[in-house]
Structure 1
């Protein structure tokens, strides 16, 4: 488990449920956690509230959320809020630091054009009603590019616009990582703007670090062993190796819907 101070608070503090997040597909509870004079808001998703999925084993989404945090921490990019697995009022579940997003930050847009303007990357055309289409674009933002690499590593099957949380301090966080680490390629994301483009030198360095950390006795592999299966860890190693071998951002496979629905 990470020694990040907020992660320690989440793991050790007293968890108090304050309300339910209604628009979540699985049970998600807004809570506060307090310990030794410190308090923070958080999200608690009990395993008992997870809806069964045909392509993921039952009762594993919380562990996958924590595994995504561990990989994010290993990259050094800090793209996933502190997340722990712990007991709570409704049993074991994922507990994640609550992030207040800056609503004025514009990362996605629909434009009436064939090509994006400088500073934006094209995702694809979307129907906007009355037989009209518009080009869906995302910002050509370094933080989003980091997240695109992380999603490729963890095989994120559900990177929607609503899962992007930019903060007033300039940070960007990604949330909702329950459908990750499948052994089959299930990458579905809005962040296709760099598909097929060369990885940055920084990304290559990060991937080399992940490769070492995912080695048989690597620190990350040891942490993941308690959260996902050996086959899923091996598949994560293979995805890192493939990214390093091609030196490029992945492209849609054509065997799986490339963009999640709804996209935001």
Structure 2
């Protein structure tokens, strides 16, 4: 379906995702399945300006495109049955092969996975938070650092059947203050690969051109300046950062 049809075609609601903290609906535009989050359904937050989450979701898509890694599914702003909101192409994930998981502490795989933390579940059993050790998920971790993602939960990582990994739910991004909260801490201290550094460089260069102009319609100037500063710092350090500050380094709940 051409982009113009996605912008102007009738958006029909087909269901609601009741586990989401903000109003989130399933819908369709013709035969294309989408997710729709109206701005009017956003819950007020103490640390993010009210009514801006949809714009941040679109900004995250634009940065994903600048990276060139296809992390965020196609996302745009448009009018819908409940007013203007974010619309995103629906992704059918593989439920049998999650990229992030909780496993018994004595069953952490020896290879192919990274352990992030360990704790007790509701029954008192020791469990470990793990995620796969793949280039696709590393790229998502780099993306989260750059956009300052404050809410990378495990179920915000969509494992596709072909091995690709999509990230969704990017309303809590681009704050000018450090807000990184993620379950993807497995590469803490590891050196960035040349491919990862090139991706960061593309984003940073784009901020002086078309990307910066597009983001100026969605974010505050200080948030774009902070985005550039994160790119510069990450390129200068050349490695995945450690958690910093007094706030939790992981979101809650984890999934």
In which range does the TM-score fall when normalised by the shorter chain? over 0.9
The 8 Å contact of residues 7 and 83 in structure 1, kept in 2 or not, is answered as no
- Residue from 18, 28, 32 that aligns with 1:22: 18
Tell me how far 1:135 sits from its aligned partner.
2.2
* Cα 1:130/1:29, change in 2 over 3 Å: closer
CA-CA distance at 1:55 after TM superposition: 0.2
Q: Aligned pair in 2 of structure 1 residues 247, 81: CA closer, same or farther (>3 Å)?
A: same
Q: Does 1:58 align with 2:50?
A: yes
Which of 5, 8, 14 does residue 12 from structure 1 map onto?
Answer: 8
Match of 1:157 in 2: 150
After superposing the two structures, state which structure 1 stretch, 86-95 or 101-110, moved more. 101-110
> Do residues 104 (structure 1) and 86 (structure 2) align?
no
Alignment partner for residue 174 of structure 1, among 164, 167, 171?
167
Q: Which moved more, 1:111-120 or 1:171-180?
A: 111-120
Q: Secondary structure at the match of 1:187?
A: coil
How far apart, CA to CA, are the structure 1 residues paired with 2:46 and 2:100? 30
What is the CA RMSD across the aligned residues, in angstroms?
1.6
TM-score (norm 1): 0.92
Stretches of structure 2 that go unaligned for 5 or more consecutive residues are none
What residue is the counterpart of 1:45 in the other structure? Answer: 37
Task: Name the structure 2 match of 1:208.
Answer: 201
Q: TM-score under structure 2 normalisation?
A: 0.95
1:81 pairs with 2:73: yes
Q: 228-237 or 103-112: which moved more?
A: 103-112
1:122 aligns with 2:115: yes
CA shift for structure 1 position 111: 3.4
Equivalent position of 1:142 in the other structure: 135
Which secondary structure does the structure 2 equivalent of 1:146 belong to? helix
Aligned length: 254
- Please list every run of at least 4 consecutive aligned residues from structure 1 whose deviation after the TM superposition is greater than 6 angstroms: none
Shift of 1:211: 1.3
Q: 2:225 aligns with which of 224, 234, 242?
A: 234
**CA distance in structure 2 between the aligned counterparts of 1:114 and 1:252, rounded to whole angstroms:** 26
Shift in Å at residue 169 of structure 1? 2.7
Partner SS state of residue 80, structure 2: coil
Task: Pick closer, same or farther for the CA change 1:190–1:7 going to 2, 3 Å.
Answer: farther
Give the direction of change, closer, same or farther, for the CA distance of 1:175–1:247 in structure 2 (3 Å limit).
Answer: same
Provide, for residues 79-134 of structure 1, a one-character-per-residue CA deviation record: whole Å limited to 9, x for no partner: 00100011111111000001111111132232324975111111011212444322
Please, which moves more after superposition, 127-136 or 157-166?
Answer: 127-136
- Structure 2 distance, partners of 1:191, 1:198, is 15
C-alpha separation in 1, matches of 2:3 and 2:129: 36
Task: For residue 33 of structure 2, give the secondary structure of its aligned residue in structure 1.
Answer: strand
Structure 1 counterpart SS, 2:57:
helix
Residue 210 of structure 1: CA displacement? 1.1
Deviations 1:181-231 (A, max 9, x none): 00010000000000111111100111111111012xx11101101111111
Change (3 A) 1:101 1:115: closer
Deviations 1:123-168 (A, max 9, x none): 0112124443222211101111000000001000000011111112
